[in-house]
Structure 1
Amino acid sequence: MPPSRRTTAPNPAGAFGSRTQIVWVSLVAAMTGLGGLLLALDGSGGQGLRSGGMSLAPLAAATSSSSVESIFDTRKPLDAARWECIVIHHSAAPAGNQETVDRDHRGLGDRGLGHHFVIGNGRGMSDGAVYVGYRWMEQQGGTRAAPPHGPWLNEHAISICLIGDGNRGTFTEAQMQRLVQLTRSLAREFSISPRDIHLHSDVAEVADPGRFFPEAQFRESLGRW
């Protein structure tokens, strides 16, 4: 059975000021309405990283012909019946990219990157860039949801990972803008309601994506659909 979202504590003061929040929400709305993301095949060639993913550039002109909708051009047909919720994680490291996360997951016994999407913070991966993992391209389940609902979530949740450690500091505005844009698109495509968009800590006894994740602003920016 899908988990119910737990009520979480308010975000610590200072994570986002009111002025910053207004600018952030406005930028997200403008990006969603006007522009998209520049799509490019991933060419990192990182040792050990399973091929088959792709990268979305952090910023794109409003006239760009490609958009976040490119994530739905998967190699395997979209499995709409499978995806029932979205779970947001952090990498628990201040810097990194899809290759370092892939390496960490292999060290834990996974067969490669366990998340569907990774969003960079400018430290090892461009700020706001999105890496689309092979599991999403092949419509496979994730691996990183923890008990007690881990098995169900790994089969039915879309897994998004923010590079950074949300227990030690805040995420960048570019990351949060991209997270809102990506989450909105996925939720609309698969008819996922706001109550089925979870932080990992909502559904497991983990501090992930951390106490500095700006949950209230994030949910306000998502709005309703």
Structure 2
Amino acid sequence: MAGQNRTVAVLFALLAAMTGGAMILMALDNYAPGAGAYSLSSYLRLDPVEQVVKNTLHTTPAQWNGVEIFYSRTAAGNADELPLLMSLADGRAEQFHFLICNGNGAEDGRIQTSSQWSQQLTVKQDGTIRICVIGKERNTLTNSQVQRTNDLVESLSRTFNIGPRQIRYPANW
């Protein structure tokens, strides 16, 4: 019986110590998530993906039947600069509906829309939504870019009923 009382006393002492320690840590914390390469605080500052998809339309949604993701082949850029940068690099400017930024030109993970999206214009005549990701290949992307791209693709596929077979990623994604 004495051994059982001792075990109960130790468990209560441990519980009290853990509770007291947690209260001290919470009192010292400023309740802000830490910043990092892909931290919750940086993710929470970005606009929700659904808001980007739906609130940037200036006309009725078009009939979309696919999603294509491609790299910008540049190290930096944003929706205003990228067409010029791409045309200088190889003589042609890629057209896109969405752009996922990497922190060089706009905030990391920021999803920007183009006029093609807001006006619901197809870039090619195939009804495919084109998403450009700033970077030269997969190993140059940030974690935030990958996560936001996946979130955007998921939102678009839900909103426009696009099946997984109609979603095309780059070969090394």
Q: Secondary structure at the match of 1:59?
A: helix
**Aligned mates of 2:77, 2:60 — CA distance in 1:** 30
Q: Percent identity?
A: 29
CA deviation after TM superposition for structure 1 residue 59, in Å: 2.7
RMSD: 2.7
1:138-217 to structure 2, matched below 5 A, reads: 138-142=119-123, 151-152=124-125, 155-166=126-137, 169-200=139-170, 211=172, 213=173
CA deviation after TM superposition for structure 1 residue 109, in Å: 6.2
**Aligned mates of 1:101, 1:86 — CA distance in 2:** 20
Q: What is residue 89 of structure 1 aligned with on the other side?
A: 70
Q: Secondary structure at the match of 1:99?
A: coil
1:128-139 to structure 2, matched below 5 A, reads: 128-139=109-120
Runs of 4+ in structure 1 off by over 4 angstroms are 105-110
CA deviation after TM superposition for structure 1 residue 105, in Å: 5.6
TM-score (norm 1): 0.51
Kindly provide the amino acid, as one letter, of the partner of residue 78 in structure 1: P
Q: What is residue 102 of structure 1 aligned with on the other side?
A: 83
**Aligned mates of 1:120, 1:88 — CA distance in 2:** 13
Kindly provide the amino acid, as one letter, of the partner of residue 133 in structure 1: S
**Aligned mates of 1:109, 1:163 — CA distance in 2:** 16
Number of residue equivalences: 130
Kindly provide the amino acid, as one letter, of the partner of residue 128 in structure 2: A
1:105–1:76 distance in 2 versus 1, CA, 3 Å: farther
Kindly provide the amino acid, as one letter, of the partner of residue 44 in structure 2: A
Kindly provide the amino acid, as one letter, of the partner of residue 54 in structure 2: F
Q: Which has the larger radius of gyration?
A: 2
Equivalent position to 2:54, from 66, 72, 91: 72
TM-score (norm 2): 0.65
CA deviation after TM superposition for structure 1 residue 170, in Å: 3.0
Work out whether 1:117 is the aligned partner of 2:101. no
CA deviation after TM superposition for structure 1 residue 95, in Å: 1.6
Q: Secondary structure at the match of 2:99?
A: strand
For structure 2, the residue ranges without an aligned partner over 5 or more in a row are 1-39
Kindly provide the amino acid, as one letter, of the partner of residue 160 in structure 1: I
Equivalent position to 2:108, from 127, 144, 154: 127
**Aligned mates of 1:109, 1:87 — CA distance in 2:** 18
CA deviation after TM superposition for structure 1 residue 106, in Å: 6.0
1:109–1:95 distance in 2 versus 1, CA, 3 Å: closer
Contact map agreement 1:76 1:139 (CA 8 A) in 2:
yes
**Aligned mates of 1:182, 1:128 — CA distance in 2:** 11
For structure 1, the residue ranges without an aligned partner over 5 or more in a row are 1-30, 32-57, 143-150, 202-210, 214-225
1:131–1:67 distance in 2 versus 1, CA, 3 Å: same
Which of the two has greater helix per residue? 2
Deviations 1:105-141 (A, max 9, x none): 666566xx71000001112221100101111000001
CA deviation after TM superposition for structure 1 residue 76, in Å: 0.8
